Amino acid sequence: MIIVRNLAFRMLCIPELIIPPGSAALVGPNGSGKTTFLRLLAGILNPEKCSVRINGRTPGECRIGFVNEYPDRNILFSRVTDEIAAPLRFSRIHCEEISRKVELALGYAGLSHLTNRRIHTLSGGEKALVALLAATIHAPDVLILDEFDSHLDDRARDSAEQIISASGAASVVRCTQNMDAASRSGTLVALFGGRIRASGSPREVFSGLSGTCYVPFGWRDE
């Protein structure tokens, strides 16, 4: 469970927000503070007065996978296998075990053909999938995704969902402009102007957003 209390940072003003375990989606207009909020959950930002707890621990005490909206900003290394292996190497896992895990991860995602590729030769969608593999290969407690799906076609989205499901993360929090994807989350959070407009099940939240573009097309006539 993720609990945020007394958050007053930049444009964000959130007295309290509780996100149950499982999948959660964050939606809202551009400029509403969604990226800042996700970076707080990931521990990338750490304002003094804000309290963020993930199962009673701070983000810094958790294993967190984070994927940026822009594929190139996720990348640290020039080769695909080195990028995916990085979290394991930082954990000082034996080289043979790292190679085995990377090979399995690429195979499971259907990306074995990228094994010997250099990052700069990949498409935006391929870079996003490589970043997702790197964020999940160390079995994170929490997986945080900042509109990474904006670079994916339908086939790549299917691969991404497989990777996310296999990650084992107890909590997955994703910011998305894809309302159909948001509707499949267990919890939906609508953030407008730095404030929580609604939080709850997709049906509850979407009903409160009627008349806006933040409702799936298939739900608009219900």
CB 136 within 8 Å of CB 166: yes
Q: DSSP letters along 114-132, please?
A: GTT-BGGGS-HHHHHHHHH
Considering the domain architecture, whether residues 144 and 207 belong to the same structural domain is answered as: no
Residues 27 and 84 in one domain: no
Same domain, 164 and 195: no
H helix intervals, the chain = 34-42, 71-74, 80-90, 95-108, 124-136, 154-166, 179-183, 202-208
Q: What are phi and psi of 123, to 5 degrees?
A: -75, 170
Instruction: State residue 41's pLDDT score.
Output: 95
What stretches in the chain show pLDDT beneath 70?
221-222
DSSP structural state of residue 216: -
The total number of structural domains in the chain stands at 2
Residue 45: which CATH number? 3.40.50.300
| Whether residue 30 sits in one domain with residue 85 | no
The model carries a pTM of 0.91
Please check whether residues 66 and 106 belong to one and the same domain: yes
Residue 221 lies in a domain: no
83 and 32 in one domain? no
Domain assignment of residue 77, given as a range: 61-169
39-76 pLDDT per residue, tens: 999 999 988 888 999 999 999 999 999 998 887 787 88
| Pair 83, 38 in one domain | no
Looking at the structure, tell me whether residues 40 and 81 fall in a common domain: no
- Tell whether 77 and 122 lie within a shared domain: yes
Q: What is the pLDDT of residue 90?
A: 78
Residue 31 falls inside a structural domain: yes
Residue 161 sits in the same domain as residue 187? no
